[in-house]
Amino acid sequence: MKNILKYLIFSFLIIVSNNLHSQKKWTLEECISYAKENNVEVIKQKIRTEILVSDTKISKGNFLPDANFNASQNLSLGNSFNVSTNVGQRESSSNSFSLSSSLNIFNGFSDKYKLQKSKLEESKSEIKIEKIRFDLALNITNKFLQVLFNKEIFLVTKQQVDISKQNYDRLKKLYEKALIGKREVLEIESTLSSDQKEKNIAKNNVQNSLIELQELLGIKQFINFDIEEIKIKNSLNKDIKLTEDVLNRNPEIVSSKINLELRKKDIKISKASFYPRINLNYSYSSNYFHILGQEDLVFNQETNQTEPNGFWVQLNNNRTHYIGLSAVFPIFNRFSTIENNKKAKEELKISEIDLKNKRQVLRNKIKIAYNDVNTAESNLKAAKIAFNTQKQAFDIVQKQYLLGNINNYEFLESKTKLTRNNSEYIKAKYEYFFKWKILDFYFFK
């Protein structure tokens, strides 16, 4: 009963927590910050980094001696010969034990370079996390603005439905009084249906874009998930300079630099194959022999007496120590070492070209982003003027329409223009903010 009560309380707290969490409106900064730790791709790359940390530990272990213990149990059936007693036996058993260890003394510093390479791979993986976060911030900003854009479009469609509904109700009353023809009522009724359809589509777009944003964040689908509005200024600060420091801090450039260092380590590792390999080896071994069905006894020729020759006695008497130094000098390995060294040098050249190219590509991306901001700002100003003037024109047309001075066609045409200009102004506003945000991210601001 207590367990059931605890479960109910726990479930209730989770539901309350989810509801409170879902009622919160997320800011753009909160979305980006949350996704940087909880997005699926970030989590996967963190796991890959942990794997590389293990590889680094393995590389460190190459500097230590290894140790191996071997044990065997053997059973002989039929004729056999006891070396210790010089007596033929039919059935016997034996045990052997050995403890061995080896230590690499010199291998052309290959272990040293492999350790350095493992650490570089680890650093590259960490930079990959930053690259994922960088791209994620842009994607989330895009999705965040898409939600806000869809919301504003939804408000526009609601306004259009309200306008169409008011005019439909007005014309319907006039038609009932036989003051206008049925054609005008049907036209406005058709417009009202079309506006309601656009409203439904806009509402669905808002819901879908919110789901897509949650997916990027890496959170479960909250029913009432929502985001904060963004105050977009007409003119944003673009007083920024493209310097080498800006390029060097970019995750893609950092990753390419690390890749260049990795290729240099590959060259050194390949060169290590030209040097001899020297190992220090040690082993300790012993064995035990037993005739099945007989006691472990041995005849001592000095005392002319039979003495116990049990398990521990034999292990003590048969122990052997071995220590040795071995060296392998490479003479000819079918051109493998030479060609691998050449390949490593060619890979280094490719990495150098790749780094230089990525620097130029990034420099061009930033210049393009800067030009896009200027163009988007000009488009925003033009779209705002077009919307404001069309709104004034629509207000005049609507008054004239209510007075009966213009026909239904002219009113609907003006209304369509207002809707289009309003949508274009909203689009230009969020496009400008997104273009500016791209430029902002490149400068890590």
Give per-residue pLDDT as tens, 314-337.
899 999 999 999 999 999 888 998
Instruction: Give 20's pLDDT tier (boundaries 50, 70, 90).
Output: very low
C-alpha angle 334-339-342 in degrees, rounded to nearest 5: 165
Q: For residue range 160-196, list pLDDT tens digits in order.
A: 999 999 988 988 888 888 888 888 889 889 999 999 9
Q: For residue range 414-423, list pLDDT tens digits in order.
A: 989 999 999 9
Q: For residue range 48-61, list pLDDT tens digits in order.
A: 999 999 999 999 99
Range with the poorest average pLDDT among 245-249, 295-299, 371-375, 387-391 = 295-299
Rounded average pLDDT over 101-110: 94
Q: Does pLDDT of 25 surpass 50?
A: yes
- Where are the domains positioned within the chain? 2-38+107-275+330-442
Q: Does pLDDT of 22 surpass 90?
A: no
Range with the poorest average pLDDT among 23-27, 137-141, 388-392 = 23-27
Rounded average pLDDT over 225-243: 73
User: Which CATH number is 2-38+107-275+330-442 given?
Assistant: 1.20.1600.10
Range with the poorest average pLDDT among 78-92, 168-182, 268-282, 351-365 = 78-92
30-55 burial: b if 16+ Cβ within 10 Å, else e: ebbbbbbeebebbeebeeebeebbeb
Instruction: Give 4's pLDDT tier (boundaries 50, 70, 90).
Output: very low
